[in-house]
Amino acid sequence: LVCSAQPHQHLLHSHSATDKEVAAAFAAEGGRDRSILQQELPQKHQYEACRAANWKPPRAQTLLHTSRANVLHVTDVSHAIRAVNEAAEVRGLELAAESGAGSGSSGSEQYRESCREAWLGWVCQCGIKQNIAESLFEHGFGFNCDSLTKDTKALTERRCQNLMPNSSRQSSLLRAQVATDIRLWLMDYLSDELLPQLRHLINTLVSRAESETGVLMPGYTHLQRTQPVRWSHWLLSYASMLRRDCQRLADCRARTAMCPLGSGALAGNPFEVDRQALADALGFTSGVTWNSLDAVADRDFASEFQFAAAMIGNHLSRLAEDLILFCSKEFGFVTLSDAYSTGSSLMPQKKNADSLELIRGKTGRLCGHLVSLLMVQKSLPSAFNKDLQEDKEGLFDSADTPWFESPTVHPEACAGALSCDMLATDLAYYLVRRGVPFREAHAASGRCVALAEAKACQLHQLTFEDFRTVSDTFGEEVTQLWDFETSVEQYGAFGGTALESVRQQVAAFRRWLGDEQK
């Protein structure tokens, strides 16, 4: 993704480079989307690169102080502090510029005061008391993991104790659960990344279906040509699959958005913590969990997400497989962009659909992660067990699966693949409309196909007299059946491949996408 000739590449990937070097290198690259950033940069440099690209920080509401219990939820402190740092620095630069201090004057008192004002404003909005916020600003919150502290929660709590020894002594009363962090991460990932990506892909499919309604192609069952359909109808079939995926993810998010904080180790919290206030502050829109014993070990939401991710993978794998076939010379229906294909190192005439093959292959990992997590949970006793630590690797890996764009369609090649023998079913429908039971009509159509094969001609080349030898029900208008556009137009019920039906489907998808964005 970064050309090897570019001098900044080694800085972007270097673990020894300083944050400022990485930020400068990233800015020189012009910035790239967040998913690529997360895949390419070492974790320690990602926040600095975000600032270099002027991206908005993640929400800082995960850092809070509860007024009733007077305890600090520390599990998310380091993440939230980073978010506050980003927001404060951006706002500090704005305030400094407004006051004439200069955006680069980080050593000036005026710049420092501007940053302090922004910092305190953001932190106090999160519920942190003024004296704690000032202490954090004065002493900073950056720290490195040492060999004695490998657990993130213990490391964060120890740092809190160093900065504010009196206030932090109560910090462990809330028993902040790892499940809370996983839920927060998954809620944000679904809302901010995966669902928008899916809707974007659906919108792409719907837009192409709307603009390419005139393209006819063969439909297939058992990889055999069956009946003519519109290219738009094929596109909307995958839009329908992905719409169900969106609905599954929305249901998953609703169940994920239940706050387990206040559950303690398993029996609950004895200090009358306002759990609903915590849930509201953190953005848990479905309220709080009902039972503490269940809450500390519940990973249903993770399993649901991995099932939904596996289904998305299956649907995209099917789409990729169709496109791989359609890209082949045997079909020639579509051509992939050069950005999503490669040439052969040996055979220069080849153009390989590598991106589609990788999507197809990635699906196996998604299905494997689902089975792995289900096996972890299958025989666990009540409450928390260390086995549940295995839920995260598959969860995060499932979330990192990439997406792709649609190819270029070739209407002439699609139309060239149509043949009149695909209208044999239409011949049966013709007899049904003239009062013949379908089974008899189907048999008569089959005899017509056999007659054409015996005469070494195409079905549409049979004469009216030929059809009459099969059934007296055939009228002279039978010779007018062999038009593909007329064939697809008979499927006018909603969901069919007729032009008006396709337009109705497009309109339905447009309404649904509009409702999803509200």
Burial call 296-323: b when 16+ CB within 10 Å, e when fewer: bbbbebbbbbbbbbbbbbebbbebbebb
DSSP summary character for residue 58: P
The residue annotated as part of the active site, out of 222, 240, 317, 487, is: 222
Distance of CA 208 to the CA centre of its chain: 20
CA–CA distance, 291 with 227 (Å, rounded to integer):
55
**Annotated catalytic residue 419:** no
Pairing of strands 334-335, 408-409: antiparallel
The residue annotated as part of the active site, out of 67, 108, 328, 344, is: 344
Query: Are 288 and 209 contacting, i.e. CB atoms less than 8 angstroms apart?
Result: no
CA–CA distance, 52 with 31 (Å, rounded to integer):
8
Helical pair 391-399 and 354-377, crossing angle rounded to 10 deg? 160
**224 phi and psi angles, rounded to 5 deg:** -110, 140
Query: Are 492 and 498 contacting, i.e. CB atoms less than 8 angstroms apart?
Result: yes
**225 phi and psi angles, rounded to 5 deg:** -65, 135
CA–CA distance, 500 with 491 (Å, rounded to integer):
9
Burial call 358-395: b when 16+ CB within 10 Å, e when fewer: ebbebbebbbebbeebeebbeeeeeebeeebeebbebb
**Annotated catalytic residue 222:** yes
CA–CA distance, 483 with 458 (Å, rounded to integer):
14
Q: Which residues are catalytic?
A: 222, 344
